[in-house]
Amino acid sequence: MKKVNGHEIINLFEQWSPKRFAEDWDPVGLHIGQLNRPVDRVVITLDVNEAVVDEAIEKGANLIIAHHPPIFSPMKHIWTDTPQGRLIEKCIKNDISVYAAHTNLDVAPGGVNDLLASRLGLEDIEVMEPTISDPLYKLAVFCPVEHADELREELARSGAGAIGDYAGCSFTSTGVGRFTPAAGAAPFIGEVGKTEEVAEERIEVVLPGPLRSKVLKAMLAAHPYEEPAYDFFVLDQRTQEFGLGRVGKLPAAMELNEFANFVKQALDVPAARIVGDLSKPVRKIAVLGGSGSKYIRAAKRKGADVFVTGDMDFHSAQDAEMMDLAIVDPGHHVEKVMVEGVARYMEQACQAKGYDVSFIESEIDTEPFRFV
Ligand SMILES: [Zn+2]
């Protein structure tokens, strides 16, 4: 097993939940401390408060991955006799770094919203409110026939050729490559000053913009030629859309009242607020972790019968009622599903890389509300 530092762990995490998925206003990333030191235990939590930092100290962890950013508004002072200042002081004194993945983890496939959708047993899940898609490129590379299989494999391994649910997609045509090695060349095939003809394949793959340099590096490393010939094309297409919230269907319709009780059970909350006729049958469900008041129209546009989200405000609830969109508000804290979800994902990802690091699910309950 390989000892790792914070950067290696976060690089792996960001392959899943990149910062570019975050909303512009969202201060995601490293908040406290540094990533440039060894890490062998990581605490995963929804929120960072002093009790969570104490838990990290007690369990010997030196990195906390949280969903909610602990420093949301810019600070002008760090006064250590305030709760926030004390928390920062405690982290620094105990060499604990804090990293936040907020709306990027909401958007990431398999992140907060997919975790909620899966707890609710939804099927045919799609994104509710698209927020981002990437430009699509095409790479065409010319390669001697005998090396084409290996090159195709390396391109696929670097992430090129992913189309929807299919990986390693490529198209190949054959032809003849001609070249004359000039003085100073060290040709893989042929000799200086003599024109060569080689049976070659033209391999075409598509790739999302953010993978461009990774794919190019992989191609250059795998290609046998000193100076591989290749073209990058910008396509008039974009990748699949990523976004906030999810919409899906229950296996069978149920009455709103029954569904609300199911939500309480599935998301482990003691109470939920409901808008709408309790006997209304519901099947198409929109879900968005956190505060969803702003997204009632997006849920309605997607044809949802009911929208499951937290922090519903009075006037948005009235608007939803008028547009015949039922609401089940189980609170903001249901985002706690990310604790187990992130721990499982990162355990697997680190295991595959042989990283010697363990992930601890925080046991601190950060729900501020009690129900009477
Ligand atoms: Zn939240």
Residues 167-206 have pLDDT tens digits of 999 999 999 999 999 988 888 888 898 999 999 999 999 9
pLDDT-derived band at 371 (thresholds 50, 70, 90) equals: very high
pLDDT for residue 331: 97
Rounded distance from Cα 100 to ligand 1 centre (Å): 11
In degrees, rounded to 5, the angle at the alpha carbon of residue 182 between the alpha carbons of residues 178 and 185 is 100
Rounded distance from Cα 90 to ligand 1 centre (Å): 24
CA 105: distance to chain centroid? 5
pLDDT for residue 165: 80
pLDDT for residue 106: 98
The Cα 202–Cα 157 span in angstroms is 18
pLDDT digits (tens, 9 = 90+) for 240-279: 889 999 999 999 999 999 999 999 999 999 999 999 999 9
Decide if 64 contacts 52 (C-beta within 8 A): yes
Rounded distance from Cα 125 to ligand 1 centre (Å): 21
Residue 26 has which token pair?
């969202």
Rounded distance from Cα 52 to ligand 1 centre (Å): 17
pLDDT digits (tens, 9 = 90+) for 300-345: 999 999 999 999 999 999 999 999 999 999 999 999 999 999 999 9
Q: What is the mean pLDDT of residues 211-234?
A: 94
What does the DSSP assignment read for 19-69?
Answer: GGGS-TT---EEEES-SSSEE-EEEEESS--HHHHHHHHHTT--EEEESS-
pTM: 0.85
pLDDT for residue 123: 97
Q: What is the mean pLDDT of residues 88-109?
A: 97
Residues 6+ apart with CB under 8 A from 93: none
In degrees, rounded to 5, the angle at the alpha carbon of residue 132 between the alpha carbons of residues 131 and 133 is 145
Q: What is the mean pLDDT of residues 280-305?
A: 97
Rounded distance from Cα 368 to ligand 1 centre (Å): 13
CA distances from 317 to 70, 269, 276, 286, 296 (A): 29, 20, 9, 15, 9
Provide the β-strand partners of residue 196.
Answer: 179
pLDDT for residue 239: 84
Rounded distance from Cα 293 to ligand 1 centre (Å): 13
pLDDT for residue 301: 98
What does the DSSP assignment read for 89-153?
Answer: HHHHHTT-EEEE--HHHHHSTTSHHHHHHHHTT-EEEEEEEEEE--EEEEEEEEEEGGGHHHHHH
Rounded distance from Cα 102 to ligand 1 centre (Å): 7
Whether residue 163 is predicted with pLDDT greater than 90 in this model: the reply is: no
Q: What is the mean pLDDT of residues 277-306?
A: 97
pLDDT for residue 240: 81
Q: What is the mean pLDDT of residues 99-106?
A: 98
Which has more pLDDT, 196 or 360?
360
DSSP 3-state assignment of 278? Answer: coil
Rounded distance from Cα 113 to ligand 1 centre (Å): 11
pLDDT for residue 103: 97
pLDDT for residue 256: 98
Residue 299 has which token pair?
């849920």
Give the length of the chain: 372
